[in-house]
Chains A and B, each alone.
Chain A
Amino acid sequence: MENFYHRTGGYPGIFGWIFSTDHKRIGLLYLGSMFTFFLVGMTLGLTMRLELIAPGTHFITSQTYNALFTLHGVIMIFLFIIPGIPASLGNFMLPLQIGAQDVAFPRLNLMSWWFYIAGAVVVLTSLFTGGGPPDTGWTFYVPYSVRTGTNVSLAVFGVFLLGASSTLTGLNFLTTIHRLRAPGMTWFRMPLFTWSLYATAWVQLLATPVIAITLLLLIVERSFGVGFFDPAKGGDPILFEHLFWIYSHPAVYIMILPAMGAVTDIIPVFSRRVIFGYKAIAFSSIAIAVLGYLVWGHHMFTSGMSDFSRMIFSLLTFLVAVPSGIKVFNWVASMYKGSIQLDSPMLFTISFIFLFSIGGLTGLVQGALATNVHVHGTYFIVAHFHYVMFGGTVFAFFAALHYWYPKMFGRMMNEKLARTYWFIMFIGFNTLYFPMFILGWQGMPRRYYDYLPKYHAGHLISTIGSWILATGVLLMFYNFFRSLSKGEKAGNNPWNAATLEWQTTSPPPTENFEEVPEVTQGPYTFR
């Protein structure tokens, strides 16, 4: 059966991929590149954890450690999790889910991937040239980021290019969803994964330019000394933090919204029930996107901002938890009295709900002014964001990967192996990150390459957890690659789902559908 792998667009070999404007190929290009960078970022993380296994300096200098956590953050955030689900699975599935042949601007889509690669190359080049890899933390706070001799300008320019990629993807998805839905696919018949991509695209479109200008200003400051953030010239360093977090807080919603969307598509299929509260979930995605713009100050409570603004931001932070809570309620309600199939997508999904909830609830501890003062800058924060970003977004990413694997590759992953490494990952994850909540509460600062002996136990447990987690991840990679050739062949709809992508072949043909689909019902109506 001919599918999109057979159509090379006339280009030989690898050029059939890197010059392709087929959204499915572009999605896979992103998937391959971002998981390569994920492995690099994971290695950096393991290296840091190894150094921290006991007090004292072992095999890494303090300067190297600063570079390690900076790069770990930059790679994991800008090269992996922000492109994340939208660029890979979103690119592949969005046109399929709405019954379209491709996205609105296929050539722009390819250009987005090239911007991504260019940005990644520039960031990685900054490791080896000039003053060496940046040591400022991924947050690039002034004044240190202006004064340090390390390669901040180059790295930051790389991030700028990555931002262009993200913005253009958002623009493409917005136009696609507005214009290319199949006949009968009204807004309220779209899958909730598509809704989440829509909300995410708005954040990509409107927030990313702010980090773009902020990073440009950082380069300008390093090069010309304009003085916007320099008190000696009348500038305000806190203004940098405002501009930085005006993007970087909405950015976390770029990370989590598509993850929530994927999970919302998976739960009905593996509970054999229609989703509970379709409109509530659709609107709560929009609500999260909107409210997400209003809370950035909660990253800055100890920076020297006015008391009044701190109170406002704290209040707004508590508000943004509400739509997320609505979703959790709706997911659990969707499973109630359902016929639960505990296949790997569902295992990752259920653990996502659990881990994301822990992350979310600890966010409230940070959102309250009184407790924030104690936990800001400690391991408590590190634990929180790994629970939401890794336990949340990445576990959902893994769930979605296992769910859509048959559609993309025409094969099933090995279920038994998947359940095994799911369990290993779950144990490893909690062993790695839960002690960090306790360490943080006890006062262990973040971004430190050494620590007092009283924190040893927590760090030791955490480092062991990192090895367990890494084992699980590597087993998953093994399953992914092995199943490409040895996996059981998949039919059109191995999970018996009702969304449009499952009504075509696995893998799909280049045009996605033999005939233009006509949509007459919602996305979660099962027999």
Chain B
Amino acid sequence: MEEQNVHIGSAKTYVAVWLALLALTAITITVATMHLGTFSTLTALLIASIKASLVLWFFMHLKYEKKLFKFLFLIPIATLTVMIGLTFFDIWYR
């Protein structure tokens, strides 16, 4: 059956990803204590996005899925970006 041919994750890879996630958590906490002013939000979101990407790519298996899945995932992200972006044309320019 189809399921048999699907790539099995390796425990080693998963543990490595987990360690990376813990490290990134430590980094983001440390960076938050530094005074980066306007860049602090951006940095925090950037690090969060790297963590999210690791979860998506490895834990959620997106790396091994068909191209279609990878493409489809961009759609809700793009939609949300547009929704927030267009709203800010109002918020910023009132």
A and B touch in the complex (CB under 8 A): yes
Distance between Cα atoms of A294 and B89 in the complex (Å): 12
Q: Which of A141-149, A300-308, A318-326 contacts B (4 or more CB under 8 A)?
A: A300-308
Q: Is the CB of B75 within 8 A of A242?
A: no
Taken residue by residue from 51 to 94, chain B's Cβ proximity to chain A (1 for < 8 Å, 0 otherwise) reads as: 00000000000000000100000011001001100110111111
Q: Does A246 contact B (CB under 8 A)?
A: yes
Q: Is the CB of A293 within 8 A of B82?
A: yes
Q: Does A312 contact B (CB under 8 A)?
A: yes
Of B75, B86, B87, B93, the contact of A206 (CB 8 Å cutoff): B75
Taking residues whose C-beta sits less than 8 angstroms from the other chain, chain A's interface range is 20 to 34
| Known A-B contacts A293-B83, A294-B82; A306 and B89 likewise in contact (beta carbons under 8 Å) | yes
Taken residue by residue from 290 to 314, chain A's Cβ proximity to chain B (1 for < 8 Å, 0 otherwise) reads as: 0001101100000011111100110
Of B79, B90, B91, the contact of A297 (CB 8 Å cutoff): B90
Taken residue by residue from 504 to 522, chain A's Cβ proximity to chain B (1 for < 8 Å, 0 otherwise) reads as: 0000000000000000000
Residues of A within 8 A of B89 (CB): 306, 308-309, 312
Task: Name the residue on B nearest A242 (C-beta).
Answer: B87
Residues of A within 8 A of B82 (CB): 293-294
Q: Is the CB of A210 within 8 A of B93?
A: no
Of A178, A246, A305, the contact of B83 (CB 8 Å cutoff): A246
Q: Is the CB of A305 within 8 A of B90?
A: yes
Residues of A within 8 A of B68 (CB): 178
Of B76, B79, B90, the contact of A309 (CB 8 Å cutoff): B90
Shortest Cβ gap from A207 to chain B (Å): 8
Q: Is the CB of A312 within 8 A of B86?
A: yes
Residues of A within 8 A of B90 (CB): 238, 242, 297, 305-306, 309
Residues of B within 8 A of A296 (CB): 86
Distance between Cα atoms of A183 and B84 in the complex (Å): 41
Distance between Cα atoms of A307 and B94 in the complex (Å): 7
Q: Is the CB of A306 within 8 A of B93?
A: yes
Distance between Cα atoms of A242 and B84 in the complex (Å): 10
Residues of A within 8 A of B94 (CB): 304-306
Residues of A within 8 A of B79 (CB): 206, 293
Shortest Cβ gap from A293 to chain B (Å): 6
Distance between Cα atoms of A246 and B80 in the complex (Å): 10
Distance between Cα atoms of A113 and B68 in the complex (Å): 29
Distance between Cα atoms of A305 and B94 in the complex (Å): 7
Shortest Cβ gap from A251 to chain B (Å): 14
Residues of A within 8 A of B75 (CB): 202, 206
Distance between Cα atoms of A297 and B90 in the complex (Å): 9
Residues of A within 8 A of B91 (CB): 306
Residues of A within 8 A of B86 (CB): 294, 296-297, 309, 312-313
Distance between Cα atoms of A304 and B90 in the complex (Å): 9
Shortest Cβ gap from A336 to chain B (Å): 37
Task: Name the residue on B nearest A308 (C-beta).
Answer: B93
Which residues of A (241-261) have their CB < 8 Å from a CB of B?
A: 242, 246
Interface centre among B75, B82, B92, B94 (most CB of A within 10 A): B94
Distance between Cα atoms of A296 and B94 in the complex (Å): 17
Distance between Cα atoms of A460 and B73 in the complex (Å): 53
Distance between Cα atoms of A242 and B90 in the complex (Å): 10
Task: Name the residue on A nearest B68 (C-beta).
Answer: A178
Which residues of A (475-527) have their CB < 8 Å from a CB of B?
A: none
Shortest Cβ gap from B73 to chain A (Å): 12
Taken residue by residue from 82 to 120, chain A's Cβ proximity to chain B (1 for < 8 Å, 0 otherwise) reads as: 000000000000000000000000000000000000000
Distance between Cα atoms of A246 and B89 in the complex (Å): 14
Which residues of B (20-65) have their CB < 8 Å from a CB of A?
A: none
Residues of B within 8 A of A307 (CB): 93
Distance between Cα atoms of A263 and B75 in the complex (Å): 28
Residues of A within 8 A of B93 (CB): 306-309
Distance between Cα atoms of A268 and B82 in the complex (Å): 37
Distance between Cα atoms of A178 and B68 in the complex (Å): 10
A interface residues, Cβ below 8 angstroms from B:
178, 202, 206, 210, 238-239, 242, 246, 293-294, 296-297, 304-309, 312-313
B interface residues, Cβ below 8 angstroms from A:
68, 75-76, 79, 82-83, 86-87, 89-94
A-B contact pairs, 7 of them (CB 8 A): A206-B75, A242-B87, A246-B87, A306-B93, A307-B93, A309-B89, A312-B86
With contacts A206-B79, A306-B92 known, what are 9 further pairs, Cβ within 8 A? A206-B76, A239-B87, A296-B86, A305-B90, A305-B94, A306-B90, A306-B94, A309-B90, A312-B89
Closest 9 CB pairs of A and B: A306-B93, A309-B89, A308-B93, A309-B90, A305-B90, A306-B94, A306-B90, A206-B79, A242-B87
